[in-house]
Amino acid sequence: MSHHEQHRTHRVGWLRAAVMGANDGIVSTASLLVGVAAANTTQENVLLAGVAGLVAGAMSMAAGEYVSVSSQADTERADLELERQSLEENEAFELEELASIYEGRGVEPALAMQVAEQLMAQDALGAHARDEIGISDTVTAHPTQAALSSAGTFTIGAALPLLVAWLSPGEQQIPFIAAFSLVFLAMLGALAARAGGASVTIGALRVTFWGTVAMALTAGIGRLFDVMV
């Protein structure tokens, strides 16, 4: 019987950006809507604030992810260039270095050298990138992918509480937005945890907790502003 393990490391890049985008979309937009509604403004103003928050948040997430991941990609390219130069100038030293890495992992010296020689003969830079620097195709930085994933999921996440605000009656806006947003967050946390192979319960609870804190704080600020006005 064949056995095939389903690893999830290849999902790290897009999953992190997608979860962050959707979570921020729900939390920030729901909190904004609750805060504005708590100040006793009209439903039209609440919706306007929500739409503005959605657009601004999506653009901010895209720009932030792109700049952040681009910086990571620049660092990776710089490290690879240094390694490429070192391989050209002192291949023997790099061979010894790679072999010593395998020895440190428990491979016998003679076998470690043999493995290093064979890997370097096939793809010297790839071997050093993977085993010395820690760069591989599964975890390398992809700025555009991260930016689009984050902005897209932020938009979807933000649209959910905005839709609830649009459909709920004025006097029930705050409880409706808060309740549905917490449900959305719990579902997101559970799905993200399942995709990453983690505990579904813990994943749901942690995002729900922080969402509750965020909405409670903004509701308090909205009430305070209404009292002061």
pLDDT tens-place string over residues 42-76: 888 999 999 999 999 999 988 988 888 888 888 88
Based on the domain organization, do 148 and 223 belong to the same domain? yes
Q: What is the pLDDT of residue 2?
A: 46
Q: Tell whether 67 is covered by a domain.
A: yes
What's the confidence (pLDDT) of residue 141? 60
Query: Is 29's pLDDT higher than 60?
Result: yes
| pLDDT for res 51 | 94
Q: Two tokens at 199?
A: 């505990």
Please check whether residue 73 lies inside any domain of the structure: yes
For residues 128 and 221, membership in a common domain is answered with: no
Same domain for 163 and 66?
A: yes
The residue from 133, 151, 169 where one domain ends is: 133
User: Quick one: 155 and 122 in the same domain?
Assistant: no
Single residue among 95, 110, 133 that ends a domain in this structure: 133
Tell me which residue range forms the domain holding 127. 83-133
The answer on pLDDT for 97 being more than 70 is yes
Cα dihedral 62, 207, 8, 159 sign: negative
- Return the pLDDT at 16: 67
- Residue 128 banded pLDDT, cuts 50, 70, 90: confident
Say whether both 163 and 115 belong to one domain. Answer: no
Residue 1 lies in a domain: no
The verdict on residue 63 lying in a domain is yes
Half-sphere exposure of 75 (CA within 13 A, CB side): 12
For residues 160-185, average pLDDT = 90
Please give the structure tokens belonging to residue 73.
């990609």
State the average pLDDT over residues 155-184: 90
> How far, in Å, are 47, 79, 191 from residue 19 at the CA level?
24, 29, 9
Contact 47, 177 (CB under 8 A): no
CA separation for the pair 42, 141 (Å, rounded): 44
Both tokens of residue 145? 């992918």
Amino acid 63 reads A
Tell me the Ramachandran region of residue 123: left when phi exceeds 0, alpha when psi lies from -120 to 50, beta otherwise: beta
What DSSP designation does 221 have?
Answer: H
Q: Are residues 34 and 51 in the same domain?
A: yes
Residues 20 and 61 in one domain: yes
Domain-embedded: residue 158: yes
Looking at the structure, do residues 147 and 74 belong to the same domain, yes or no? Answer: yes
Residue 44 located in a structural domain: yes
Same-domain pairing of 150 and 57: yes
Mean pLDDT over 133-161 rounds to: 81
Q: In this structure, are 129 and 175 located in the same domain?
A: no
- Tell me how many domains the chain contains: 2
78 is written with which tokens?
């710089």
Answer yes or no: is 138 within a domain: no
pLDDT of residue 73: 81
| Calpha distance 133→88 (Å, rounded) | 17
Vertex 221, ends 165 and 219: CA angle to 5°? 35
Task: Note whether 159 and 216 are same-domain residues.
Answer: yes
In this structure, the answer to whether residues 27 and 117 fall within a common structural domain is no
Percent of the chain residues past pLDDT 90, beyond the cut: 25
